[in-house]
Amino acid sequence: MLAPLSWLKEYVDLTLPVDALAERLTLAGLAVDAIHHVGDWWDPETITVGEVVAVLPHPDADRLVLVDVAFGGDARQRVVTGAPNLYQYRGVTPLPVLKVAFARAGALLIDAYSDQRPRPKKKLKASRIRGVESSGMVCSERELGLSEEHEGIILLPEDAPVGMPLRDYLGDRVFEFDLTPDMARDLNMIGIAREISALTGGALHLPADVLPAAGDDNVADYVAVRIDEPELCHRYTGIVIHGVTVGPSPKWMQERLTKAGMRPINNVVDITNYVMLEYGQPLHAFDYDTLVRRAQQAGDRTPTIIVRRAAAGEKFITLDDIERTLDDSMLMIADTLGSVAIAGVMGGQESEVSDATRTVLLESATFEGINNRRTGQKLKLYSAASYRFARGVPATLNDIAGRRAADLMRQYAGGRIAPGIADAYPTPQRRVTVYATASDTRRILGMTVTLEQMADALRRLDFEVRQVADPAPDAPAAATFALHRAAGEPLLECVVPWHRLDVTMPADLIEEVARVIGYEDVPITLMADMLPTQHRNEIVETEEKIRDILIGSGLQDTVNYALTSPENHARLALAFAPLDGVEDRAPFVELANPIAVERRVLRRSLLVSALESLQYNLRYADRLAMFEIGRVYLPERGEGPLPHEDRRLSLVLTGPRQPLSFYNSNAENNTTGALDFYDLKGIVETLLARLGFKADAIEYRGAPATGAFGPRCAEVVVEGEVAGLIGEVHPQVRAAFDLPAVRINAAELRLAVLQRPHWRHDPMPPISSYPPVVEDMAFIVDESVTVRMVESAISAAGGALLTAIELFDLYRGEPLPVGAKSLAFHLTYQSQEANLRDSDVAKVRERIIRRVEREVSGKLRG
């Protein structure tokens, strides 16, 4: 929302400097995002208000004229110009009053003919144009940076003071507001003026609310209004203006619209836009004579405006010359022949105002916001009008804004207003009363505010306020919702002004009081109550610890979409199940109104999101190591209508093991290979160890061809419970996601299994003061024997003296028999009580050899 201060000054006295006013408004909730300075770069010495005193023919050019300009005192200067709005006065005497923006040589102006964007500035120099000296310029809007208009020069109002620096006369400050939906009341100049008045005490000056109609006729002689959908159209008013002449709007109105971000079109359309920006009421002007012709085609004498729903599949051509297909949820403005506008969104091509329009039907209405917003979204039509309707337009405003626009059309389009207003009002705006107490205000704001202070603040915002003992018997529940009141405490009864649709409950009143007092003046207070007992959130603690561990391991934390598609889930199982029927076996939580087809269900697996992320990011990087902590949604395990939300962890590794660097600058020198299953397993082992799980509580079970994985896959079991799967993504799944032909290693683990209560954390083992004894042992075992089976046998035999086991070699081949392998381990022995002797170690060694032979048929390798 752009608000020029020169426009705001018409409605409120500005008592604060510009920067202080912007800060006060921002602190009160009207965030001023920027202050645009119009004309601050205009040199006050060389760019001034001038008056054209003569327009003479150029002696050597038919399309140019010589213009004598007075710019202060007796000073005059002759310049050469081809501006058409001055050329028409060539040789005319006496001249009408022509005030212009005049720049003398040395002034800095926009280069109007440059192709650069934005256009650069350049210094104006004296020159000879077709033999005539020209040491200045009468400026267009483009040269001054006001707009792209360059057809003619700026003609200022007749009362513009000659010689005044143009910066002082035409310069301005424009506030750019970023308003939240609850501040929709301020999407207009008068709304902002009301806020400034309440916050600064400046006097408010509202336009006179009059309808200067003329004639013995009545609007009922020309038009009737019928509302068939009162829940979607709360009020509809129409005013008829005869004898208008469509042409340019006044210069001051064009300037205000331009500064507010709207393009001037013609006086009738500009007035509807002007009043919308002034009051916040969207308006629409119909060519009344077109409506009469349509009514006569339908067999009627005068038109009847009908507010109804569109027919399903109905076709309608809007102002932008596009035929649109409608559905029966959309509200239309129609007559007895058919539709003439999409209510609150856009008018129709047939009934639009043109240069030939002589009679206007002016529409001012209130349409239901949600329906209006959905209509705009379906048709992809977004306008300033629908933006306001979607946030709420009070029905009381309809006739006020209609009268204002009609009066402006009378003044600036030469129209005659037919007496009366055609008004259908099936859903009157209700009078809202809300109650507040001093104790409730103190409870919410943390500061003491008396009822008198509250009443003063609210009266400045146009609330009607009085003290009462009890709420009215018929007061709605919202009027006292969550109201805190001490026994016998008086109430403040507040009648909400009609233009405040956002105030419905006591908390809203307290917010208004705080805004007027100033949030910056709310003191800092400490809690008076005792702090409640603190409870640990162990799942959150676990998630944060996992993040720290994995980031420290070199992985990147990612946040992926929880929304995906059944087709991508099917691709995840492509190697093991057909695409058909996946949704039947695995139900999804489906969105009723998805933003895109590929985002229409909630995911059942984090791997789907991980592979979607890889599909996008592998276009820009060849090495990715990332993880995600998120939820999957399983409707079949939910209680009631809600799905079960299972917290999970996914990990993905792909690309070269070492990233390219100065010491490893190309793939040929990168001899470390690609990230594989064992890199991923090492990260999972590190994660589990740092979470506090002992090695003997963790098991990796072979699980070939499971889910999305190929034969390189393992099931992770923690303390006897399956935590998830780790493995290499199957090539068919990789191809289905259009991923490059590289190894992609992934894991998906359940967080519930990884969570350890704080009371289960193991204390640190004592540190022995005696030296360890380290020896290596290698066992020949059958291929079916796993490392874990051998480690379990060694650990059971080693007892307390065996403090560490580490596999350091795996060998297959000669001279070992076929189907056998050699596993070599570092074994560490250490006592807490004394130095170990050779005989102590020998006893443990013999026990280990016998235990391995008995349990896994392993033989000590010589």
For residue range 344-369, list pLDDT tens digits in order: 999 999 999 999 999 999 999 999 99
d(CA 768, CA 750): 37
- For the four alpha carbons of 326, 329, 331 and 336, in that order, the dihedral sign comes to positive
pLDDT confidence tier of residue 753, bands split at 50, 70 and 90? very high
Is the per-residue pLDDT at 586 higher than 80?
no
Is the per-residue pLDDT at 575 higher than 50?
no
Whole-number pLDDT of residue 696: 80
Is the per-residue pLDDT at 667 higher than 70?
no
Q: Residue by residue, what is the 3-state secondary structure of 505-565?
A: CHHHHHHHHHHHHCHHHCCCCCCCCCCCCCCCCHHHHHHHHHHHHHHHCCCEECCCCCEEC
Provide the residue type at 799 as one letter. Answer: G
The answer to whether the CB of 486 falls within 8 A of the CB of 440 is no
- For the four alpha carbons of 380, 382, 388 and 389, in that order, the dihedral sign comes to negative
| Strands 433-436, 556-557: pairing kind | unpaired
| Mean local confidence (pLDDT), 836-861 | 94
Q: What are phi and psi of 754, to 5 degrees?
A: -85, -10
Is the per-residue pLDDT at 604 higher than 60?
yes
757-800: pLDDT as tens digits: 766 677 778 899 999 999 999 999 999 998 889 999 999 999 99
Cβ-proximal residues to 204 (8 Å cutoff; 6+ apart), any chain: 11, 12, 193, 194, 197
Whole-number pLDDT of residue 579: 29
Closest CA to 31 of 180, 172, 173: 180
pLDDT confidence tier of residue 584, bands split at 50, 70 and 90? very low
478-529: pLDDT as tens digits: 888 888 888 889 999 999 999 999 999 999 999 999 999 998 888 887 777 7
316-340: pLDDT as tens digits: 999 999 999 999 999 999 999 999 9
Q: Chain-wide mean pLDDT for the chain?
A: 91
d(CA 410, CA 243): 9
411-466: pLDDT as tens digits: 999 999 999 999 999 999 999 999 999 999 998 988 899 999 999 999 999 999 99
Whole-number pLDDT of residue 669: 46
Closest CA to 454 of 417, 412, 489, 424: 489
d(CA 694, CA 594): 45
Whole-number pLDDT of residue 45: 93
248-294: pLDDT as tens digits: 999 899 999 999 999 999 999 999 999 999 999 999 999 999 999 99
Q: What are phi and psi of 156, to 5 degrees?
A: -85, 165
d(CA 522, CA 507): 16
Q: How many CB atoms lie within 10 A of CB 134?
A: 21
Closest CA to 282 of 324, 326, 341, 226: 341
Cβ-proximal residues to 782 (8 Å cutoff; 6+ apart), any chain: 819, 820, 821, 856, 857
Please give the helix or strand (H or E) that residue 785 lies within, else none.
none
3-state helix, strand and coil shares in percent for the chain, rounded to the nearest 5? 30, 30, 45
The answer to whether the CB of 499 falls within 8 A of the CB of 8 is no
800-813: pLDDT as tens digits: 999 999 999 999 99
Q: How far is CA 346 from CA 234, 408, 694, in A?
A: 18, 22, 69
Sheet (strand 859-860) strand order:
802-811, 820-829, 773-782, 859-860
Identify the residue whose tokens are 């399956």: 722
- The pTM assigned to this predicted structure is 0.70
470-480: pLDDT as tens digits: 888 888 888 88
Closest CA to 209 of 420, 400, 364: 400
d(CA 792, CA 789): 5
Q: Which of 202-216, 218-232, 542-556 has the lowest mean pLDDT?
A: 202-216
Rounded to the nearest angstrom, the gap between the alpha carbon of residue 319 and the centroid of all alpha carbons in its chain is 28
Q: How far is CA 676 from CA 94, 221, 402, 701, in A?
A: 93, 85, 73, 17
> What interhelical angle do 267-279 and 251-259 show, nearest 10?
50
710-723: pLDDT as tens digits: 788 899 999 989 99
pLDDT confidence tier of residue 665, bands split at 50, 70 and 90? low
| Strands 304-309, 224-227: pairing kind | parallel
The answer to whether the CB of 264 falls within 8 A of the CB of 148 is no
Closest CA to 401 of 247, 285, 288, 256: 285
Say whether 150 sits in a helix, a strand or coil: coil
Is the per-residue pLDDT at 622 higher than 80?
yes
d(CA 393, CA 391): 7
74-110: pLDDT as tens digits: 888 999 999 999 998 998 889 999 999 999 999 999 9
Closest CA to 453 of 435, 443, 444, 441: 441
d(CA 339, CA 236): 16
Q: How many CB atoms lie within 10 A of CB 350?
A: 19
User: Would residue 131 be called left, alpha or beta, if left means φ above 0 and alpha means ψ between -120 and 50 degrees?
Assistant: left
Q: How many CB atoms lie within 10 A of CB 92?
A: 10
683-711: pLDDT as tens digits: 999 999 999 888 888 888 887 656 678 78
The answer to whether the CB of 585 falls within 8 A of the CB of 576 is no
The answer to whether the CB of 397 falls within 8 A of the CB of 194 is no
